[in-house]
Amino acid sequence: MAAAETAKHTYVYDFAEGNKDLKDLLGGKGANLAEMTNLGLPVPPGFTITTEACQAYLATGEQPAGLAEQIDTHLAALEATRGKRLGDPADPLLVSVRSGAKFSMPGMMETVLNVGLNDESVAGLSAQAGGNDRFAWDSYRRLIQMFGKTVCEVPGEEFEHALDEAKRAKGTGNDLDLDADDLRALVGTYKKIFSKHTGREFPQDPREQLDLAIRAVFDSWNADRAVLYRRQERIPADLGTAVNVVAMVFGNLGSDSGTGVAFTRDPATGAQGIYGDYLANAQGEDVVAGIRNTVPLQELERIDKRSYDELLRIMATLEGHYRDLCDIEFTIERGKLWMLQTRVGKRTAAAAFIIAAQLVDEGIIDLDEALHRVTGAQLAQLMFPRFDLGGAPEVLAKGVGASPGAAVGKAVFDSQRAVELAKQGEPVILVRRETNPDDLPGMIAAQGILTSRGGKTSHAAVVARGMGKTCVCGADSLEVDVRGGQFTVGGHTVREGDMISVDGTTGCVYRDKVQVQPSAVVRYFEGDVTPETTEDPLVAAVHRIMSHADAARRLRVRTNADTGPDAARARRFGAEGIGLCRTEHMFLGDRRELVERLILARTDEERQAALAALLPLQRADFVEIFREMDGLPVTVRLIDPPLHEFLPPLEELAVNVAVAQARGEDAAKDEALLAAVRRMHEQNPMLGLRGVRLGLVIPGLFAMQVRAIAEAAAERARDGGDPRPEIMVPLVGAVQELETVRAEAEKIIAEVRREQSVEILIGTMIEVPRAALTAGQIAEAAQFFSFGTNDLTQMGWGFSRDDVEGAFFWRYLELGIFGISPFESIDREGVGRLVRIAVDEGRAARPGLKVGVCGEHGGDPESVHFFHEVGLDYVSCSPFRVPVARLEAGRAAVESAGSDSR
């Protein structure tokens, strides 16, 4: 306990004291610097101030007690190691102060280099660099610039402007042409800018510089752009950042110095090799700023073979140690290589699969680990069609890839126009500055959506994702002129009707029509290619990892399908049955007329006649589906949605009747229909006459459906098939509802069974909160449960599912009320709690009760993990998401097995 107490108050760790598993405390950068230090790699010495110190500072506005002393101690140790004192006029130690949170937030927070320089130590630095005055004054001006901007909020443009002026005066465009005198003069100008904005002189005390820089890094955690980034990436707001204080090494000391970045494998394709860039005589910020062109890393072999060879050795060590692709930042100071950073590198979705499979082949990781390293989101990305970039299409702009896919169409600038053109069969891309609920019809009509403002949580992004529509947001180089019906970008004008192509995965916007390629991964799932018939390493990698996921998972994966072709496709994608066959659509089209007759029936005979006409049609539907899913369970849900959806809209009918009456025509049929529509009109149809309520109110409706299912199964069995029907009753809230339906259904099944024996289960959806809360009672009457998490979310939150995503979810996401729509990913605490209660109480009442889920969440990666945890038997999702669910079910199984054994 005493040790834990002390550890809690340790706010500063030397690099030699940390390791890569301490990311929570030391941030990603600090933890990895520690790991490299302990591997004996050449890391400049330094120390890390913990995220706990940052949290304490952000909570109180004061540095926590003890922090200043601990910094003193570690700084003294650093000075001793380097044999120099911070800012010593004769021989200064300089340090960099760098942020580093647990999760990488590229470019979001702050860094200050060259801390420790002042009017005196600049001379000492020059002496250290062998009398290189130019270098010393350049370093000083960089400090004032970075410190001014980061720590004291001096507008960065003022410094840039002064630098440009100095170059102009010298008649050059290149920083390197400025000599020591120019830079000394520039330092004078910079200091004036600094004091004009801050009302004080540039701090000359090195320790004050250090303290202010540390504080600024802490504060940068709450800078607007960092807050926004965290919200978009769903990084918790309370983690705080660590601060790394590192002895400076210089890549800008001459041609024997330089800086670079490297990957141990190609992060785009996963191919093994040396990938990276090098820039001689430069510091890291020059690479980022793109001031001069880098050279491929291979060139370093020619420039400095010793450093190159050492770098390759280190890269191999890091890959072996991290057992993964690493990315690296390094600096060479006068022929001496220094490692400034490493981390497990980001990669494309395809590379994630390929690298994981490669590492298995190389014996570095096992298949469980490979499965852990890929995600369903990556697999989903690989299943979208992609643009064929072979012809190097012209990129007009780049925004945020907000909803994946490749969309091609004519640019249109207002919603109504999008609808008009789409009606004429034209593909369109709706281009707006930003969207609002009025744009919904246009968004629905468009192939894709492009906005110049907003990010991943903007209205356009949220709604497009909900619709599964391609969307690029925040392409801020576009000047969108909605009135003028055009946008301009980099001198180009795109007018209404011009073709554009948008890539919702990469955020790229292309001029003209770019060819779309089908996904190799989908072709694999379709059975068009196999690892044996293609050289594509992606297909082999996906095959290998999917096979392992299938072997590992405990959850079965079914599909939501209500036609034969959908069922067949889902089966090819690996579906192990149908978890939801919605029967509503079977009543549309030319059958609508029969449904109208059923609803309007005034006598039993009329109703029976309508039902008798529907029966053979329904039976034929089920025969086809049972055939496609032969040998696998098929859950057929009795009709669910509100009846008004089957009748003409009230306004339209009223107009027809009025017109007919005015003309003196016979409107008897429409009048009867209008009366019925009026009678059935509901203010809130989603909470009205739906589901089981409908079955109990319209005599014979459910009975007809049950008979169609039983007879179809009997027909299949007679023909040698193996049908496995399950009848599911929707929207049950009380066991009595289910009992009533079940009693009638069992009678019909028994009648059919007299001729042909087929086993048929009867179960219920759990989608009304009351059903979840009384699941113990309901389980007495149900042979299975299937969670309808769409309705359970709607009714659990009181959110109208058809309205809220377009109306206000973007605002909820912006405010961080939730990080993702609860219709997209299960709300674990609320709706998830209802699920848990129902599973536990249902199984307590009926041990071994089969339980699945058929709401949209069944195909959402995060939610699949939740359903694994609560012990469901299966998830069911749309055919296209079946592979994603299989993969995530496998990941959930290996991850929970891993944590059980820990």
What's the min distance (Å) between Cβ of 573 and ligand PEP? 19
What radius of gyration, in Å, describes the C-alpha atoms of the chain?
33
Beta-sheet strands, E only, within 165-271: 241-247, 258-265
Of the candidates 611, 514, 606, 522, the residue with the CA atom closest to the CA atom of residue 570: 522
788 binds ligand PEP per the rule CB under 6 A = yes
Q: Which residues pair with 262 in a beta bridge?
A: 276, 328
Closest distance to Mg ion from the beta carbon of 788 (Å):
4
Of 763 and 788, which has the nearer Cβ to Mg ion?
A: 788
What is the rounded CA–CA span in Å between residue 290 and residue 293?
7
Among 562, 670, 791, 856, binds Mg ion (CB under 5 A): 791
Window of 78-86, 597-605, 650-658, 789-797 that interacts with ligand PEP by CB under 6 A: 789-797
582 in a known ligand binding site? yes
Catalytic residue among 54, 471, 854, 877: 854
Minimum gap (Å) between residue 621 Cβ and ligand PEP: 17
Beta strand 508-511 with 516-517 is unpaired
**CB under 6 A: which stretch of 415-423, 439-447, 471-479, 784-792 binds ligand PEP?**
784-792
Q: With CB under 6 A as the contact rule, which of the stretches 12-20, 624-632, 787-795, 826-834 interacts with ligand PEP? A: 787-795
CB of 765 to Mg ion, least distance (A): 6
Strand 492-495, strand 486-489: pairing: antiparallel
- Residue 832 beta carbon to ligand PEP: minimum distance, rounded to whole angstroms: 14
Give yes or no for residue 791 binding ligand PEP (CB under 6 A): yes
Residues forming beta bridges with residue 30, ordered by sequence position: none
Q: Considering only 32-40, 89-97, 356-364, 787-795, which stretch makes contact with Mg ion by CB under 5 A?
A: 787-795
Contact with ligand PEP (CB under 6 A) among 138, 640, 841, 873: 640
- Segment interacting with Mg ion, rule: CB under 5 A, options 315-323, 539-547, 647-655, 783-791: 783-791
Query: Catalytic site residue 857?
Result: no
Identity of the residue, 541 or 570, whose beta carbon is nearer to ligand PEP in the bound complex? 570
**50 assigned to a ligand binding site:** no
Asked if residues 711 and 670 have their Cβ atoms less than 8 Å apart, the reply is no
Q: What are phi and psi of 788, to 5 degrees?
A: -95, 85
Under the binding rule (CB under 6 A), the answer on residue 583 touching ligand PEP is no
Tell me 586's DSSP state: G
679 labeled binding residue: no
767 is an annotated ligand-binding site residue = yes
Rounded to a whole number of angstroms, the minimum distance from the CB of residue 787 to Mg ion is 10
Rounded distance, CA 700 to CA 743, Å? 13
Residue 462: how many CB atoms within 10 A of its CB? 29
448 touching ligand PEP, by CB under 6 A: no
854 binds, among Mg ion, ligand PEP, none (CB under 5 to 8 A by kind): ligand PEP
Containing 334, the helix (H) or strand (E) segment is none
Query: Is 22 or 875 the residue whose CB approaches ligand PEP more closely?
Result: 875
Task: Confirm if 768 and 836 have CB atoms less than 8 A apart.
Answer: no
Residues in contact with ligand PEP, shown as a per-residue x/- string from 859 to 898 under the rule CB under 6 A: ----------------------------------------
* DSSP 3-state of 265: strand
**Binding residue for ligand PEP, selected from 191, 323, 334, 582, defined by CB under 6 A:** 582
Q: Is 5 helix (H, G, I), strand (E, B) or coil?
A: helix
Tell me whether residue 596 or residue 640 sits nearer to Mg ion (CB atom).
Answer: 640
Q: How far is the CB of 801 from ligand PEP (least distance, A)?
A: 8
CB atoms within 10 A of CB 65: 10
Min dist. Cβ of residue 733 to Mg ion (A): 12
Binding span for ligand PEP by CB under 6 A among 48-56, 78-86, 699-707, 788-796 = 788-796
C-alpha to C-alpha distance for 427 and 421, rounded to whole angstroms: 8
Q: Of residues 724-783, which lie at the interface with ligand PEP (CB under 6 A)?
A: 767
d(CA 874, CA 888): 12
Report how far residue 604's alpha carbon sits from residue 257's, in angstroms, rounded to the nearest whole number: 94
CB of 790 to ligand PEP, least distance (A): 3
Name every residue whose Cβ is closer than 8 Å to that of residue 193 and which is 6 or more positions away in sequence.
Answer: 148, 154, 158, 159, 162
Whether the CA torsion 369, 373, 377, 380 is positive or negative: it is: negative
| Longest distance between any two alpha carbons in the chain, whole Å | 107
C-alpha closest to that of 762 among 710, 717, 690: 710
**C-alpha to C-alpha distance for 813 and 833, rounded to whole angstroms:** 22
Among 790, 808, 828, 840, binds ligand PEP (CB under 6 A): 790
Residue 856 in contact with Mg ion, rule: CB under 5 A:
no
Asked if residue 268 lies in contact with residue 348, where contact means CB atoms within 8 angstroms, the answer is yes
Phi, psi of 49 (to 5 degrees): -90, 130
Is 791 known to sit in a ligand binding site? yes
Q: Is 637 annotated as ligand-binding? A: yes
Q: Choose between 270 and 641: whose C-beta lies nearer to ligand PEP.
A: 641
Q: Is 693 in the site for ligand PEP (CB under 6 A)?
A: no
- Closest by CA position to 287, among listed 365, 354, 341, 350: 341
**Residue 30 interaction partner, one of Mg ion, ligand PEP, none, beta carbon < 5-8 Å per kind:** none
CB of 793 to ligand PEP, least distance (A): 8
Sign of CA dihedral 61, 65, 68, 70: negative
Out of 521, 580, 727, 795, the residue judged to bind ligand PEP by CB under 6 A: 580
Asked about 459 being catalytic, the answer comes back as: yes
One residue of 44, 788, 796, 890 binding Mg ion per CB under 5 A: 788
Query: What six digits make up the tokens of 203?
Result: 């701090």
Taking CA 500 as the corner, what is the angle to CA 519 and CA 809, rounded to the nearest 5 degrees? 80
Using CB under 5 A as the binding rule, the residues of this chain from 686 to 725 that contact Mg ion are none
- Calpha distance 884→888 (Å, rounded): 6
Query: Interface with ligand PEP includes 855 (CB under 6 A)?
Result: yes
Residues of 596-635 as b/e, b for ≥16 C-beta within 10 angstroms?
Answer: bbbbbbeeeeebeebbeebbeebbebbbbbbbbbeebbbb
Given 459, 644, 857, 868, the catalytic residue = 459
- 54 or 792: whose CB is closer to Mg ion? 792
CA distance 547 to 549: 5
Q: Which of 360, 353, 359, 346 is nearest to 382 (CA)?
A: 353
Instruction: Rule CB under 6 A: choose which of 75, 478, 657, 854 binds ligand PEP.
Output: 854
| Distance separating alpha carbons of residues 577 and 16, to the nearest angstrom | 55
Q: Is 362 annotated as a binding residue?
A: no
Choose between 350 and 636: whose C-beta lies nearer to ligand PEP.
636
Contacts with Mg ion, 735-774, as mask; x by CB under 5 A: --------------------------------x-------
Residues marked active site are found at 459, 854
Binding site for Mg ion (CB under 5 A): 767, 788, 791
- Binding residue positions: 582, 637, 767, 788-791
- Binding residue positions for substrate: 582, 637, 767, 788-791
Binding site for ligand PEP (CB under 6 A): 580, 582, 640, 767, 788-791, 854-855
